[in-house]
Copies of this chain bind each other. A is one copy, B any other.
Amino acid sequence: MALIVQKFGGTSVANVDRIRNVASLVKKELDAGNQTVVVLSAMSGVTNKLVSFCEEAAPLYDMREYDAVVSTGEQVTVGLLSIILQSMGVPARAWAGWQVPIRTDAAYGKARIETIDTDNLRAALAAGEVPVVAGFQGVGPEGRVTTLGRGGSDTSAVALAAALSADRCDIYTDVDGVYTTDPRIVPKARKLPRVTYEEMLEMASLGAKVLQTRSVEMAMKYRVNLQVLSSFEDIPGTLVCDEEDIVEKEIVSGIAYSRDEAKVTLQGVKDHPGIAASIFGPLADSNINVDMIVQNVSEQGRTDVTFTVPRTDLSRALKVLDCVRKEVDIRDLSHSDTVVKISVIGVGMRTHAGVAQKMFAALAERGINILVISTSEIKVSVLIEEEYTELALRALHTAYGLDAK
* A interface residue numbers (CB < 8 A to B): 16, 19-20, 50, 53-54, 56-58, 60-62, 64-66, 68-69, 71-73, 75-76, 78-80, 82-84, 86-87, 93-94, 96, 98-99, 143-145
Contact = CB atoms under 8 A, between A and B. Distances in A.
A100 to B, nearest CB: 11
Given A68-B96, A72-B75, A99-B143, 5 more contacts: A16-B57, A54-B83, A61-B86, A65-B82, A72-B72
Contacts of A145: 96
Q: How many copies does the complex hold?
A: 2
A65 B50 contact: no
B75 A87 contact: no
15 contacts: A19-B57, A54-B83, A58-B87, A60-B87, A61-B87, A64-B93, A65-B80, A65-B94, A66-B83, A68-B82, A68-B96, A69-B80, A72-B76, A96-B145, A98-B98
A68 B94 contact: yes
Nearest to A61: B83
Contacts of A98: 98
B53 A16 contact: yes
Given A16-B56, A16-B57, A19-B57, A75 B68 contact: yes
A56 B84 CA distance: 9
A7 to B, nearest CB: 19
Contacts of A60: 87
B69 A50 contact: no
Interchain residue pairs A-B with the least CB separation, the first 5: A69-B79, A58-B87, A72-B72, A68-B79, A57-B83
The residue in A50, A60, A69 that gathers the most chain B C-beta atoms within 10 A of its C-beta is A69
A57 to B, nearest CB: 4
A71 B98 CA distance: 15
Contacts of A64: 93
Given A72-B76, A144-B99, A65 B83 contact: yes
A53 B82 contact: no
A344 to B, nearest CB: 44
A53 B82 CA distance: 12
Nearest to A145: B96
Contact of A65 (B19, B65, B86): B86
Nearest to A84: B57
Contacts of A68: 75, 78-79, 82, 94, 96
Contacts of A72: 72-73, 75-76
Given A57-B16, A57-B80, A98-B98, A75 B86 contact: no
A84 to B, nearest CB: 5
A75 B80 CA distance: 18
A145 B86 CA distance: 18
The residue in A61, A71, A76, A79 that gathers the most chain B C-beta atoms within 10 A of its C-beta is A79
A56 B144 CA distance: 31
A247 B276 CA distance: 81
A80 B57 CA distance: 6
The residue in A64, A65, A98 that gathers the most chain B C-beta atoms within 10 A of its C-beta is A65
Nearest to A19: B57
Contacts of A62: 82-83, 86
A53 B13 CA distance: 12
A19 B68 CA distance: 16
A173 to B, nearest CB: 22
A139 B254 CA distance: 50
A50 B53 CA distance: 18
A14 B53 CA distance: 12
The residue in A68, A84, A143 that gathers the most chain B C-beta atoms within 10 A of its C-beta is A68
A365 B293 CA distance: 94
Contact of A79 (B54, B79, B82): B54
